[in-house]
Amino acid sequence: MRPVAFVTGASRGIGAAIAKALAADHDLALTSTARGGAKATAKVCRQLGAEVLELQHDAASRKDADRIVKAVDQAFGRVDVLVNNAGIVVRKPTVKMSDDDFDRVVAVNLSGPFYLVRRLLPGMIARGQGRVINVSSISATLGSAGATGYCASKWGLDGLTRALAEELRGTGVLALSVLPGSVATDMLEGSGFQPRMTADEVAGVVRYLATQAPAAMQGSRVEVFG
């Protein structure tokens, strides 16, 4: 039986690359904001041998979290690897960022991962194995002007990883964070940074964590600078 990986934000960029990196030996649940947004990714993954379930998903919605977790359970019966990759950035100076801008970024980047973790973790613990991999950002450590909400939410996501790691010791379930630097994706546009790596390179790190990471890596923050 092939393990099942659940990858959010899989329509393009890092999420699409992660899905493709896992497709050879995982079945996949892939989410995107737009209906059919992960169609191209899913097509490639099926060609690589994966059974794929595509799902539209508003990461900030609790109801959507309930709906998609139910759909994945009906399709596969379990999730072995959760990759919380979906994320957004609003590039504005803090004094020009609205409360709604900030709240939306935090809802997608931090609350959304928590919603899925809370719903999927009981099954992983019951089976005595699993991986929760949160795709954070080096901006959580270094900061980035004009991206207050993004940096704060990614710092919070790392905190979620570390707290989960303490709760999960001895369960067979690992909680891990990946902190990419400047990656050649749409999100880098307008940031002022030059890309130092490709999405495929980040996906290779995620694949390692999903398939080979030892228990001693529990709670690790893996920085990927390129």
Active site residue 150: yes
Element (H, E) at 174: strand 173-180
Distance between CA 157 and CA 134 in Å, rounded?
7
**Paired strand residues for 84:** 134
For residue 33, count other CB atoms closer than 10 A to its CB.
16
Distance between CA 87 and CA 153 in Å, rounded?
10
List of E strands, 105-156:
130-135
Distance between CA 218 and CA 194 in Å, rounded?
31
| Catalytic annotation, pick one of 111, 150, 174, 202 | 150
CA–chain centroid gap for 154, Å, is: 11
Which residues participate in catalysis according to the annotation?
150
